[in-house]
Amino acid sequence: MVFFLQLLIDGLSLGFLYGTSALGFILIYRAGGFLNFAHGGIMTFGAFVFFALSVWADWPVIVSFAMTLAISFILGLILEKCFMRTFLIKENLIRNILMTLGLALMLKGLLSFIFGTGKYHLPLFIPEFLSLSWQNLQLTPVHISAFIASISVLILYWFFFTFTSHGLAMRSFAENQSAARSLGVPTKRVFALSWAIAALICALSGMILGMSDGLHVYPLSTLGFKVFPVIILGGLNSVGGAILGGLVIGLLETLTGGYISLSLQNIIPYIALVLILMIKPSGFFGRAESKKV
C-alpha cells in the first residue's frame, strides 16, 4: 500500500508538471494555430540557464530562478520576432512544423556545444529539511516544488486571462481572430506575448524536471515531446483538459514503471496518444474545429 501511495505522489507531481507545460503549448496554438515542436528545446534551455546562473555563476537560487524566468520570457519574444512572425499571415502547416522543429534542433545543438553531453544536478528550490516522510512514504522537495509551481501557474494563468487587458485581448483573439482584428486587438503583440509566456512556463517545467532526474540535454529535450499525448488526451483547446491529461499521463507512466516495466514506462504516453487519436481525435475535453468555406 505504501508503495502504491508513493507511486501516486510521484505520478501526480509529474502529471502536474506535464499539464503545466502543456499550457504553454495550448497558448501558442490558440493564439496563432501553431503546433510548437520547439517546446522541449525551450524547456531544456530554461533548465540549463538556471544551472549556469546557480552553479557556474554561483548566484543565489532565488535570484537565478527569477533571472531564468526573465531570460526565458525574452527568449520567447526573440523567437517570435525573428522566426515566427512571418508565419502569422502566411498560414502553412508544413512550414510551421519545419520551422519549430528547426528551432528545437538549433536550441539542442547550441546547448550541447556549450554544456556538452554530460549529466548535471540542479540545486533545489525547497530546502531538504522541508521534505516530509511517513514510514516509507516520501514527499521530497521536488514533489513540493512541482505542486507549488503548478498551482501557482494555474492561479496566475487564470488571473491574467480574467482580469488583465492583455489577457482579455488574447482570449478574444483565441476565440475569433477576425472579429478581434476588426475590434483593434493588436495581433502582433498578442502573438509575441503568447510565445513569451509559453517560454516562461516551459522554463519553469524544465527546471523542476531537471531537478528530479538530473540535467542532460537529450533526455530533457525528449521529455518535451510528452506534452503531445497530454494535449491530445485533454484537447488542443482545453486548459482544464491539459491539466487532467497531464495527471492521467503522469500516473500511467509511474504506475507502469512501478508495476510492469521501466522500459515500458517511457513508451506508455505514446501508446495512449495513438489510442486517443483512434478513439477521439479531438480529445476528451476538446471541441472539434470546423471551417466555413
CB 96 within 8 A of CB 87: yes
Say if residue 80's pLDDT is above 80. Answer: yes
DSSP annotation of 214 reads -
Say if residue 1's pLDDT is above 80. Answer: no
pLDDT of residue 290: 42
Q: Which domains does the chain have, with CATH numbers?
A: 2-124+140-279 (1.10.3470)
Look up residue 111 and give its three cell numbers.
546547448
Taking CA 217 as the corner, what is the angle to CA 95 and CA 75, rounded to the nearest 5 degrees? 55
Gap between the Cα atoms of 240 and 161, Å rounded? 14
Q: How confident is the model at residue 219 (pLDDT cuts 50, 70, 90)?
A: confident
Say if residue 70's pLDDT is above 70. Answer: yes
Say if residue 21's pLDDT is above 80. Answer: yes
- Residue 8 carries which side chain, given as an amino acid letter? L
pLDDT of residue 51: 94
Q: What is the pTM of this model?
A: 0.88
Q: How confident is the model at residue 292 (pLDDT cuts 50, 70, 90)?
A: very low
pLDDT of residue 172: 79
Rounded (10°) angle between helices 239-259 and 227-234: 120
CB 107 within 8 A of CB 217: no
pLDDT in tens, 148-191: 999 999 999 889 888 888 888 887 777 777 777 777 778 788 88
The pLDDT mean for the chain works out to 85
